[in-house]
Amino acid sequence: MKLVRSLSTYSRVLLTAGLVTAAGMAQAAEPVSPKLKQNLDIMRDILQKSLQSPVGRGVSDIDVSYVMGQGVLFETRIEGGFDGWMFSGQPMPGMDPALMARINAEAARVSQAALAGLEVDEGALESLTSEAEAAAESMLEQQERLGDQLRELRDQKRDVERELRDVEREKRDIEFTQKVGKLDESQQKQMNQLQQKQKELQSKAQEMQTKYTAAEADYRKKREEKQKLAEQQQAEMVTKVGTNMAQTLCDYGAGLRELNDSQFVALKLQTRGRNSSDVYWVFNKADINACVTGKTTAANLLKKATYYNY
């Protein structure tokens, strides 16, 4: 009995010691200073307005987190994208090839300029995006019509194939009768009619298959063109976000006064679509300070930032 009481007492001592140790470990976590948290919350609100402004509803609410001794990470994502249909997976009739080529070339030029730290003409970028969206919107009715035509061709093709199978079945029944005896005049007449009907339906079925194959190929082509346009518009949005992020840090980065100069300010943008990856910009606080004080420009700040996909 004494041994049991001793073990029980020992267990309580160990449990108490463990709770004390765990409590001590929990209390050991260093809290973020209220001033730093206030700095980060204010900057998050500023970025929210700045990044929402050029891209409408395409960017979600921004979250912020702080890595002790390292820096701050702002996170957002592309939502829906261009009224929700650009990433819906449905095919879109192709736009004029010349217009598509011009938009692609201009988008590539603007993206390269932004990533190289050169000045970006925001007005031209807005115009480019508006033009691409207008061209896409004008083809939405064509998209629905193309889908309706494809479904109608599919139904017609199935009807012809079903009728052909019925004719072939009737023809086989008469051929079986012919094997066991001679056909009478009525049966022979029916056989001739079925043979003629079979030829007509076979020709029609082949014609319908050719039309359906061509329509289906066109459907896939339009879907690929739409995907390409969606990816291009998303690339434009990424460029805008990076450019505005750098400009905002130049204009309002002084508000991050509680963040050490050796730390970083990073933005993570989650993109959409197949095989998509997240985009990161990592700015050094010292570089932000230089831009705030006019020693460098927003374009140079963006150029010096670490930019990568993951």
| Confidence (pLDDT) at 271 | 87
| Confidence (pLDDT) at 225 | 80
The pLDDT mean for the chain works out to: 78
| Confidence (pLDDT) at 85 | 36
- Residue 10 belongs to some domain of the structure: no
Give the domain extent around 81. 28-86+97-309
Rounded mean pLDDT of 25-32?
A: 62
Per-residue pLDDT at 12 exceeds 60: no
Sign of the alpha-carbon dihedral angle for 64, 51, 299, 254: negative
Q: What is the pLDDT of residues 45-65, one digit of tens each?
A: 999 888 874 444 467 889 999
| Confidence (pLDDT) at 3 | 37
Rounded mean pLDDT of 186-206?
A: 90
> Please, are residues 301 and 270 in contact by the beta-carbon 8 Å criterion?
no
| Confidence (pLDDT) at 114 | 56
Phi first, then psi: give them for residue 294, nearest 5 degrees: 80, 10
Instruction: Indicate the DSSP class of residue 68.
Output: T
- Residue 15 belongs to some domain of the structure: no
- C-alpha distances in Å from residue 243, one per residue of 76, 229, 269: 15, 21, 13
> Please, are residues 187 and 174 in contact by the beta-carbon 8 Å criterion?
yes
Report residue 171 as tokens: 């023809």
- Residue 142 belongs to some domain of the structure: yes
Which residue type occupies 139?
Answer: M
What's the predicted TM-score (pTM) here? 0.58
Categorize the per-residue pLDDT at 88 as very low, low, confident or very high, splitting at 50, 70 and 90. very low
Q: What is the pLDDT of residues 132-156, one digit of tens each?
A: 667 666 666 777 777 788 888 899 9
- C-alpha distances in Å from residue 145, one per residue of 159, 178, 219, 297: 21, 49, 11, 50
Residues 6+ apart with CB under 8 A from 83: 137
Distance, CA of 240 to CA of 234 (rounded, Å): 10
| Confidence (pLDDT) at 32 | 81
- Residue 12 belongs to some domain of the structure: no
> Please, are residues 72 and 64 in contact by the beta-carbon 8 Å criterion?
yes
Domain count, the chain: 1
- Residue 164 belongs to some domain of the structure: yes
- Residue 1 belongs to some domain of the structure: no
Categorize the per-residue pLDDT at 227 as very low, low, confident or very high, splitting at 50, 70 and 90. confident
Q: 50-53 — which CB contacts under 8 Å span 24+ positions?
A: 50/244, 50/245, 50/247, 50/248, 51/76, 51/241, 51/244, 51/245, 51/248, 53/244
Distance, CA of 145 to CA of 215 (rounded, Å): 12
Q: What is the pLDDT of residues 264-281, one digit of tens each?
A: 999 999 987 766 789 999
| Confidence (pLDDT) at 89 | 37
| Confidence (pLDDT) at 140 | 66
Rounded mean pLDDT of 179-185?
A: 83
